[in-house]
Structure 1
Amino acid sequence: MSMSMGDMPAGSMSMGDGVPSLFTLQKMYWAVVGSAIGAATLVNVLDRVIGSHRMRDPSLTPAKPKSLFFNIYATITATVREAGYATLRPLRLGGLTLHFPPLGRVLIMLANLVVVMVLCFYKLDTLDPWKWENVGYRTGFIAICQLPLIFLLAGRQNIIGFLAGMSYVSLNWYHRWVARTLWLTTTIHMGFWFRNWGRWHYITHQLYNDPLTQRGFAAWIILTFIVITSFAPIRQLSYEFFVIQHLVTFVGFIVAVWMHAPDEVKIWVWIPIGLVVFDRLARYTWGAYANLAVFHRKNKTNSLWAHSATFTPLPGNVTCVTIENPGIGWQPGQHVFLTCHSVAPLQCHPFTIASIPEDNKMKFFIRAENGGTRRFFRYASKSDSLLGDEQVTGMSETTVFIEGPYGSIRPLRQFDSVVLLAGGMGATFTIPLLRDVVLAWKMESNGSKEQIPSRVARLTATKRLRFVWVIRSRSQLTCFDSELHALLADVNECRRTHPDFEKEIDISIYITCDEKLDPPISASLPLQTMSPPTLDTFAQDETKNVSEKDNISIHSASANPTSTPPLVVTGRECIPGGGCCCTAQIEEEESNAACACTCSGAEPVQSERAVLDMKSLRPEDLTNKTMISPNIVSGRPTPRTIIRKVLEKAEGESAVVVCGPRGLADDVRWSVVSLSDERAVHKGTGAQGIYLHVENFGL
């Protein structure tokens, strides 16, 4: 007796009356998978149609459904979203925090698991020892037919992603869990053969003497190793090692499966190999076009390669990498894989593009962690011993290679109101999205009809923008200093030249911990109207509040405290060596707060407000009482309060986008689900839907 399925054509053999053949069961599995992909494709097409319709809608509320069909679709969408976005609270086990995926993903993977288990055991009696061999055959056939799905979900040039409008990053989660379902299926397959042989104490004999059993057992061992190393705590130990071992073990697994499988099912092995070849050919072809200078004569260079980058060190162990006139286009929120062999040989890392196409340059802000990112920072700062000094000499150019762009998010211009929340370097994802909408405001305000295609009536349906950035230290503001200045200057210019300009933008920066602030800043006035500061005020506060080492030009000006009772702040934490952290949840930015630094014994400081650098202001701005400026708050935001205030004004579908640590992402998910239920979007109250996009850190 053998674990092999190659002794006889097992695919069409009968396992009893009314029991489908093994080939039929494989087709049934792919009928289910194909139906799921088709449904996702239909939703993607409808979303694109809706987005296009909003750009052509001349009414004052383009983001609000106006037909029976779209009202029904919006109601169904809101109901599905509310269930799909829900997630459990993190589970803390000692020093380990376990975060759970959203319910939508879990339900999809549970559905896949149920389908696989039903197909494995349909009309088979697992308690009958004489049927164990049939179960072994059945589970083997079901296991091998799952291989193509795993590879369809893994490629960067992703067919499913193209059809469903999803990034390969999102699909990669499904890739891992389908692989784990495959591991369970193969374990059951092996277990029933072992169980069958165990009745005659035949397991050891098979493992030592049967080549087919040995190959199958080797494939299971390799797959087990792949599954174990794919868990986040392990794969995040070293990105470079994970990628290399994943490729090597993948090759070993495919070879072992091909040698173990009978000829009649080898097609399920050839399909994944074909998908991998397609993915590589597509990537290398596009990579050659993107990186060879011959295809980009506009660069006017005699070099073979199209792209060179400057590396500049910034405070906080951050490297700014800038590529002028890149040879490819991209959309805000996308990322590329960046390679620089002269600095980090044979390494390729994904980085979010922190600029927009209108800048005519790709900019990346890369925090030094381990491996290649640390080498980038060392290379940038090797000629400058003092970071943040104005005489930075680390802007040396070197050849780089880019692959991409990748990433997918529904265009935010189609939504009535947009809330963007970022934690730390998550701003590299959200700020380009913010700038893209403001750019559309600016072009519409300037009457740039040549920028508006003839088939659309507007560039954006967005009326309100709310941007929240949570950072540890104000030194991180240096990354987007010029971008924030230009953005706010554009909005202020639109308001100055067009009194009827009704767009709203609200920017808040929460600083949770800053060793250079002693005592820390505290919650400030709401970002609305303010009295114009004088030039003397700018000069005084520039000297008083800004550290030279930070090299920051978004300065702060003290505001007089009001009679509002101070917000009670209890979240304080000392930083070794001085300074302190203000970890309090800020419910209302309108309230003055005093976050005392108990470490240094300093007195609490009242509110502060960031204003535009005076170099970016014109004389008329100084008399404009509606000038927009960022609101700086010491503490942590309350996403639910922030999102609620925007939704209360929304006249159409809103979008909430978050990029940052898992804790922030979880808070935003809970807030969106809770507010959707509270507002009864799906119960005919007239409230509009909420689209949520979570861009995760890490692999």
Structure 2
Amino acid sequence: MSMSMGDMPAGSMSMGDGVPSLFTLQKMYWAVVGSAIGVATLVNVLDRVIASHRLRDSSLTPAKPKSLFFNIYATITAIVREVGYATPRPLRLGGLTLHFPPLGRVLIMLANLVVVMVLCFYKLDTLDPWKWENVGYRTGFIGICQLPLIFLLAGRQNIIGFLAGMSYVSLNWYHRWVARTLWLTATIHMGFWFRNWDRWHYITYQLYNDPLTKRGFAAWIILTFIVITSFAPIRRLSYEFFVIQHLVTFIGFIVAVWMHAPDEVKVWVWIPIGLVVFDRLARYTWGAYANLAIFHRKNKTNAFWTHSATFTPRPGNVTCVTIENPGIRWQPGQHVFLTCHSVAPLQCHPFTIASIPEDNRMKFFIRAENGGTRRFFRHASKSDSILGDEQVAGMSDTTVFVEGPYGSIRPLRQFDSVILLAGGMGATFTIPLLRDVVLAWKMESNGSKKQIPSRVTRLTATKRLRFVWVVKSRSQLTYFDSELRALLADVNECRHTHSHFEKEIEISIYITCDEKLDPPISTSLPLQTQPPPPLEAFSREESKNISEKDNISIHSVSADPTSTRDTVVTGRGCLPGGGCCCTTQIEEEEISTACACTCSGSAPVQSEKAALDMKPLRSEDLPNKTIIYPNIISGRPKPRTIIRKVLEKAEGESAVVVCGPRGLADDVRRSVVSLSDERAVHKGTGAQGIYLHVENFGL
């Protein structure tokens, strides 16, 4: 972009001896960008090769590198991860909490900024007034050549994402910051032209009389508006408004830039337009295939549209949306954009698929916030005045449209140990991943050769699973009760089928706010070698009504003061307006001391003997009387302790996956970095690497 470069072909003009032309500088920028994309692509290919190699490895430690090349690669990877995952602690300013991105992202964007600034000012004297016009030309050319990268990072059908194995969700963060770098470049470009004109008091005249200046200034105003509205606090005010205004302002910006730019650089405007058209055509083509019943006659024979869904209200203002026999396949952890015009017209929202493909149904748990999600909940609950009742039947089938699936995560079956942490609705992301690994255990245990491709010797290299779910209320446990019961049943079946079944799984549920858990209570279910004993707290009559499958996950242990395994008590604080909140982090699930409170105010701290003398958790203490989850704990987890315990047993590369509030994600990041450094993963200690995936929570 330039304020007056339309008067001459500036791209090939000389700016002094040894100074590259403007066209050459643009090519240099894209040489750097292309190299970065190439490195990311190479890493993605290597990761896929490693995953395939692990599934073909017949040794007892398939997730451990065994060759010199893979050992060197693992060491380099560990160093890069330790730097990239590092995250500063959040900064609290009064009632505002500022969270910082991980250092890896920051370094990449700083590198991009440095490259742009070097290209803008290389061999130019910014103190010489006679060079200010040259700076204006240079920054305009460097600014406009950044446009294609912004749009490459923005599309859902993402070329960079495909090459690098990254989700468009992750790339969207880079999209915003490249756009902010463009805004800085455009501001410098405009500033030097204004500075040059100001010597003759010419700025006002140019703005009023020069069409090229008017268009350039208009483009800068629109870009400034786009940058301001892209910050998270403003985006979250109204998702629907953000999407609409972003589309409108994008069109206005592209038109203004096209009218402002000379013909010799208009190619940098046409490329983004082409990328947008490609993204839309790909999305609409795939959407037509996914949603038109003519392509899925096996599933839908009498309907024009493929998908119909039932809407069921759940506790906590959550809507359960279920689509039977969906017309698309997906991987655990992916999401789709869901549209229901009869309920929320012209709105499209991304929701994580809370089921696995083997269920032959798509299930979503959608918390009612504003706009379309609130309409979903009203639609689901309007026929029944009692919300949260498990027996409430879903609304009649409603036509819905899906776009996707989207999302990318390294397959967890390639890792020796997997740790999954979820906060609240983040379980919709982690539970399908948990179920997928257990499903592989089950298929391997059944010895079904049909399930194992001929090119691999196993379906998964994972030996141990650790799942942690942090919820505010007991009512949220009902979302996945059947899935967790079935999962534990499958593990127990594997143990009965094979006496040498050595897989390990441990599940913990942390309840942070619940008046029914005062004083705090804990129960646990060991899942190491033997099936759990029968539930003594149930009466004989109640036990008869429980199915054999449910028995697997029902267990209550007495909180004997001499036992350190099952006596977990935590501190609680009272929330304004009622309700209790557990604020103490659990350092060790086996041993803890704390205080209690009442819902009307703080209660005196119990004596140690009184605090430990607790009754077993009974079925009536939970919303579903047929299940008691393993390790139900009142309090908050300490991720570092949980992760460390698993890593100490790891015999190969481990994976840590977290989805939840920003605070939880930051805590997990810092824990992974700290443990990686403590274990000296990259210093030849023999400790294995740690892969971390943080799924974005919210916008």
Report what 1:494 is aligned to: 494
8 Å CA contact 2:532–2:555 kept in 1: the answer is: no
8 Å CA contact 1:554–1:613 kept in 2: the answer is: no
Report what 2:143 is aligned to: 143
Distance in structure 2 (CA, Å) of the matches to 1:599 and 1:385: 26
Report what 1:336 is aligned to: 336
8 Å CA contact 1:526–1:590 kept in 2: the answer is: no
Q: Deviations over 1:409-436 (max 9, x none)?
A: 0000000000000000000000000000
Report what 1:310 is aligned to: 310
* Residue 25 (structure 1) shift: 0.2
Report what 1:224 is aligned to: 224
Q: Residue 201 and residue 163 in structure 1: after superposition, are their counterparts in 2 closer, same or farther (change >3 A)?
A: same
Q: Secondary structure at the match of 1:493?
A: helix
Trace 1:49-448 onto structure 2 (pairs within 5 A). Answer: 49-448=49-448
Distance in structure 2 (CA, Å) of the matches to 1:519 and 1:542: 25
Q: Secondary structure at the match of 2:422?
A: strand
8 Å CA contact 1:167–1:407 kept in 2: the answer is: yes
Distance in structure 1 (CA, Å) of the matches to 2:695 and 2:182: 27
8 Å CA contact 1:488–1:629 kept in 2: the answer is: no
Report what 1:624 is aligned to: none
* Residue 526 (structure 1) shift: 6.5
Q: Residue 557 and residue 524 in structure 1: after superposition, are their counterparts in 2 closer, same or farther (change >3 A)?
A: closer
* Residue 538 (structure 1) shift: 2.5
Indicate yes or no: 2:523 matched with 1:515: no
Of 473-482 and 387-396, deviating more is 387-396
Q: Deviations over 1:558-613 (max 9, x none)?
A: 52323258989774211345441111110111125554124455975737569999
Tell me which amino acid in the other structure corresponds to 2:206. Answer: Q
8 Å CA contact 2:568–2:592 kept in 1: the answer is: no
Q: Could you say what the CA RMSD is over the residues aligned between the two structures, in angstroms?
A: 2.4
Q: Secondary structure at the match of 2:50?
A: helix
Q: Secondary structure at the match of 1:683?
A: coil
Report what 2:549 is aligned to: none
Report what 1:563 is aligned to: 562
Q: Residue 583 and residue 365 in structure 1: after superposition, are their counterparts in 2 closer, same or farther (change >3 A)?
A: same
Indicate yes or no: 2:41 matched with 1:41: yes
Trace 1:595-634 onto structure 2 (pairs within 5 A). Answer: 595-599=595-599, 601=603, 604=611, 606=614, 630-634=630-634
Distance in structure 1 (CA, Å) of the matches to 2:325 and 2:119: 54
8 Å CA contact 1:524–1:589 kept in 2: the answer is: no
Distance in structure 2 (CA, Å) of the matches to 1:526 and 1:351: 33
Q: Secondary structure at the match of 1:297?
A: coil
Q: Secondary structure at the match of 1:589?
A: coil
* Residue 630 (structure 1) shift: 1.5
Trace 1:574-653 onto structure 2 (pairs within 5 A). Answer: 574-576=574-576, 578-591=578-591, 593=593, 595-599=595-599, 601=603, 604=611, 606=614, 630-653=630-653
Of 84-93 and 595-604, deviating more is 595-604
8 Å CA contact 1:335–1:407 kept in 2: the answer is: yes
Indicate yes or no: 2:661 matched with 1:661: yes
8 Å CA contact 1:311–1:322 kept in 2: the answer is: yes
Distance in structure 2 (CA, Å) of the matches to 1:530 and 1:475: 29
8 Å CA contact 1:659–1:695 kept in 2: the answer is: yes
* Residue 303 (structure 1) shift: 1.1
Distance in structure 1 (CA, Å) of the matches to 2:92 and 2:626: 48
8 Å CA contact 2:535–2:554 kept in 1: the answer is: no
Distance in structure 1 (CA, Å) of the matches to 2:671 and 2:257: 46
Report what 1:672 is aligned to: 672
* Residue 496 (structure 1) shift: 1.6
* Residue 685 (structure 1) shift: 0.5
Q: Deviations over 1:242-281 (max 9, x none)?
A: 0000000000000000000000000000000000000000
Distance in structure 2 (CA, Å) of the matches to 1:614 and 1:503: 28
Report what 1:6 is aligned to: 6
Q: When the two structures are superposed, what TM-score results if normalisation uses the length of structure 2? A: 0.93
Q: Residue 361 and residue 475 in structure 1: after superposition, are their counterparts in 2 closer, same or farther (change >3 A)?
A: same
Q: What 5-or-longer segments of structure 2 have no aligned partner?
A: 544-551
Distance in structure 2 (CA, Å) of the matches to 1:118 and 1:110: 12
8 Å CA contact 1:556–1:609 kept in 2: the answer is: no
8 Å CA contact 2:6–2:262 kept in 1: the answer is: yes
8 Å CA contact 1:561–1:607 kept in 2: the answer is: no
Distance in structure 2 (CA, Å) of the matches to 1:203 and 1:526: 76
8 Å CA contact 2:307–2:400 kept in 1: the answer is: yes
Q: Residue 564 and residue 498 in structure 1: after superposition, are their counterparts in 2 closer, same or farther (change >3 A)?
A: closer
8 Å CA contact 1:438–1:487 kept in 2: the answer is: yes
Report what 1:547 is aligned to: none
Distance in structure 2 (CA, Å) of the matches to 1:594 and 1:681: 35
8 Å CA contact 2:521–2:569 kept in 1: the answer is: no
Distance in structure 2 (CA, Å) of the matches to 1:610 and 1:359: 31
Q: Deviations over 1:639-683 (max 9, x none)?
A: 000000000000000000000001000110000000000000100
Report what 1:693 is aligned to: 693
Report what 2:548 is aligned to: none
Q: Secondary structure at the match of 1:537?
A: coil
* Residue 518 (structure 1) shift: 3.7
Tell me which amino acid in the other structure corresponds to 2:362. Answer: M
Distance in structure 2 (CA, Å) of the matches to 1:615 and 1:234: 43
* Residue 529 (structure 1) shift: 7.1
Distance in structure 2 (CA, Å) of the matches to 1:658 and 1:70: 26
Distance in structure 1 (CA, Å) of the matches to 2:447 and 2:530: 29
Q: Residue 385 and residue 539 in structure 1: after superposition, are their counterparts in 2 closer, same or farther (change >3 A)?
A: farther
Q: Secondary structure at the match of 2:397?
A: strand
Report what 2:29 is aligned to: 29
Distance in structure 2 (CA, Å) of the matches to 1:336 and 1:169: 12
Of 515-524 and 274-283, deviating more is 515-524
Aligned length: 679
Q: Secondary structure at the match of 2:298?
A: helix
Q: Residue 240 and residue 232 in structure 1: after superposition, are their counterparts in 2 closer, same or farther (change >3 A)?
A: same
Distance in structure 2 (CA, Å) of the matches to 1:388 and 1:28: 59
8 Å CA contact 2:418–2:466 kept in 1: the answer is: yes
Distance in structure 1 (CA, Å) of the matches to 2:169 and 2:426: 16
8 Å CA contact 1:469–1:509 kept in 2: the answer is: yes
Distance in structure 2 (CA, Å) of the matches to 1:335 and 1:90: 28
* Residue 524 (structure 1) shift: 5.7
Tell me which amino acid in the other structure corresponds to 1:664. Answer: L
Tell me which amino acid in the other structure corresponds to 1:481. Answer: D
8 Å CA contact 2:522–2:631 kept in 1: the answer is: no
Tell me which amino acid in the other structure corresponds to 1:487. Answer: L
Distance in structure 1 (CA, Å) of the matches to 2:541 and 2:255: 67
Q: When the two structures are superposed, what TM-score results if normalisation uses the length of structure 1? A: 0.93
Distance in structure 1 (CA, Å) of the matches to 2:18 and 2:468: 61
8 Å CA contact 1:290–1:306 kept in 2: the answer is: yes
8 Å CA contact 2:300–2:306 kept in 1: the answer is: no
* Residue 521 (structure 1) shift: 2.6
Of 323-332 and 510-519, deviating more is 510-519
Q: Deviations over 1:395-420 (max 9, x none)?
A: 32100000000000000000000000
Tell me which amino acid in the other structure corresponds to 1:150. Answer: I
Task: Give % identity.
Answer: 87
Q: Secondary structure at the match of 1:319?
A: strand
Report what 2:546 is aligned to: none
